Amino acid sequence: MELLDIVDQNAQPIGLTIDRDTAHAEGIRHRTSHVWILRRRGGCVEILLQKRSKTKDSFPGCYDISSAGHIPAGMDFVPSALRELKEELGLDAQPAELHYCGQRRFFNHKIFHDRPFLDNQISNVYVLWKDVRPEDLTLQECEVESVRWMDFFDCMKQVRSKSLPSCIVPEELDIVAVGAGLIRES
């Protein structure tokens, strides 16, 4: 059973924990870390997307953030982000390699596997500049079906037009683009 800290509107733990399933069944606020892996290739910036396993409890089979995960009770954003990179992709990184881009707060109400899924998250968004070959990654099969590199701006366009089967939110790609210095904040 995965225990999460219940947090206030500022992402600070309030001293109570909840299991992940109950947090999503009841819409209890918790934290996640999102790491977007970028590289420069041929004058372009590419983004690594993971394709979620078909057995995931939410958005099965959709393209998603390079690496993301719930923050276990008692852990903070960066250590959790590094742990998820290792677990999901077999990728080692150091805290200084994670570039903080911003924070997202959101609430989603969806139905997955015939059950309500109430996702109330505060997420820190990071960029990791790392040129990795997909075949060199060790994917956590229960989480990640595959990974692929994609031109960053083409990804933004396809996410906005909904032509890429994904659970990626356009606003988060905007946070990444500004935080990574790919575009100026408007």
- Residue 52 has a CB neighbour count (10 Å cut-off) of 23
CATH of the domain at 130: 3.90.79.10
- Residue 6 has a CB neighbour count (10 Å cut-off) of 17
- Identify the pLDDT of residue 113: 61
Is residue 103 assigned to a domain?
yes
Is residue 185 assigned to a domain?
no
Coil vs helix vs strand at 43: coil
Residues 6+ apart with CB under 8 A from 72: 2, 3, 4, 80
Coil vs helix vs strand at 162: coil
How many CA atoms lie less than 13 Å away from 160 in the CB half-sphere?
9
Is residue 17 assigned to a domain?
yes
In this structure, what DSSP letter does residue 149 have? Answer: E
- Identify the pLDDT of residue 185: 74
Per-residue pLDDT of 63-87, as tens digits, reads 999 999 999 999 999 999 999 999 9
Is residue 35 assigned to a domain?
yes
- Identify the pLDDT of residue 75: 97
Is residue 168 assigned to a domain?
yes
* Helix, strand, coil fractions of the chain, as percent rounded to 5: 25, 40, 35
Range 46-49 contact pairs with CB under 8 angstroms and sequence separation of 24 or more: 46/149, 46/150, 46/151, 46/152, 47/149, 47/150, 47/151, 47/152, 47/155, 47/176, 48/132, 48/134, 48/147, 48/148, 48/149, 49/147, 49/148, 49/149, 49/150, 49/155, 49/166, 49/168
Domain containing 157: what range?
Answer: 3-179
> How far, CA to CA in Å, does 104 sit from each of 11, 87, 158?
10, 23, 21
User: Each residue's pLDDT tens digit in the chain (186 positions)?
Assistant: 799 999 999 999 999 999 998 998 899 999 999 999 999 999 999 999 999 998 887 788 999 999 999 999 999 999 999 999 999 999 999 999 999 999 999 888 776 667 766 889 999 999 999 999 999 999 999 999 999 999 999 999 999 999 999 999 999 999 999 999 998 876
State both tokens at 87: 């677990």
The C-alpha angle 48, 119, 155, rounded to 5 degrees, equals 25
pTM above 0.75, yes or no: yes
Residue 132 pairs in a beta bridge with none
Number of domains in the chain: 1
Cα(118)–Cα(140) distance, rounded to whole angstroms? 25
- Residue 116 has a CB neighbour count (10 Å cut-off) of 12
